[in-house]
Amino acid sequence: MFPSDCRICQSSLTGISVLPVCDKCLEQVAPFSGIVCRICGEKLVSRFVETEEGPLCGMCRRAAPPFQRAIAYGAYDGTLRDLIHLLKYQRVQPVAPMLGRLLNEALAGIQLAEEITVVPVPLFKRKKRERGFNQVEEIARAFMRWNASPGMRLETSCLVRVRETASQTGLTRHQRRANVRGAFAVVKPERIEGRSVLLLDDVMTTGTTAAECTRVLLRAGARQVFVATVARATREVEIHLQQPAWAEAARA
């Protein structure tokens, strides 16, 4: 019935909108500010990380990831986190166009290849069947509506998840790497061979999923891989993310 309530703060909505979130909540969605690692996008807290090429986190100094660069719109916290959960767990699909727009804003000014293939991180087929859709595919389709470049094309079937993985929530970096190892495969390599790839996901935490997908894409013939996500987990909210796996599963 009208008026309905905001799905985040539960205040009454005074206008008709396909997105059931109030303006006050939407105003709280903000892009990253401050220093971020020029490769993985991790938010940094010290200027001592500066190099001649730009700021670099300790992890990327020790072992750079296989992707060229990871970009995120904002921190995985507050309203942005709530919006992602509305789409992912509550199937509020009108959230996808907004998240696609935020991805487009995150990539504004980033120099990408003229010919680039957009690839969303896939769900395992059973999980996609249960959920009814892949939220990353929905975000990717919305993102493409903001990009009319003839050299950019969306491929949703060349990268597949070949085995089911446990929830990454609460796992250490080493456990996350083991969890996703061998979980992805490229089934249509001719669609990415020799091309740059823009890998899309909703959230990046440690980057292990993005790194595993990148390795598979490069082995299949991709020239280089960039990663873009709506949100990036930061050390400031890491404790919040380290909740028991059953709590995350209960939202699904």
Distance separating alpha carbons of residues 171 and 238, to the nearest angstrom: 12
The whole-number pLDDT of residue 251 equals: 44
Residue with token string 């987990």:
233
pLDDT given at position 195: 95
Mean pLDDT by 10 residues, the chain (252 residues): 82 86 95 90 78 84 93 96 95 95 92 92 93 95 88 94 80 79 93 96 93 97 97 64 44 42
Q: Which two tokens stand for residue 74?
A: 């904002």
Query: What is the per-residue pLDDT for 3?
Result: 65
User: 0.85 cut: is pTM over it?
Assistant: yes
Shortest CA distance to 105 belongs to which of 142, 68, 152, 56?
142
**pLDDT tens sequence across 18-62:** 899 999 999 999 999 888 899 999 888 776 677 777 898 888 888
pLDDT, tens only, 107-120: 998 888 889 999 99
In this structure, what token pair is assigned to residue 36?
A: 């971020």
- CA–CA dist 223, 67 (Å, integer): 10
Domain boundaries defined on the chain: 1-30, 31-64, 66-251
Say if strands 54-55 and 50-51 run parallel, antiparallel, or are unpaired: antiparallel
66-251 CATH pick, 3.40.50.1820, 3.40.50.720, 3.40.50.2020, 3.40.50.150: 3.40.50.2020
pLDDT at 2: 59
Torsion of CA 218, 223, 228, 234, to 10 degrees: 60
Residues near 150 by beta carbon (within 8 Å), at least 6 away in sequence: none
Could you give the angle at the alpha carbon of 204 between the alpha carbons of 203 and 210, nearest 5°? Answer: 115
- Neighbouring-strand partners of residue 186: 159
**What pLDDT score was predicted for residue 66?**
96
pLDDT given at position 87: 96
Residue 245: the pLDDT is: 44
Q: For residue 77, what pLDDT is reported? A: 94
Report whether 233 contacts 173 (CB < 8 A): no
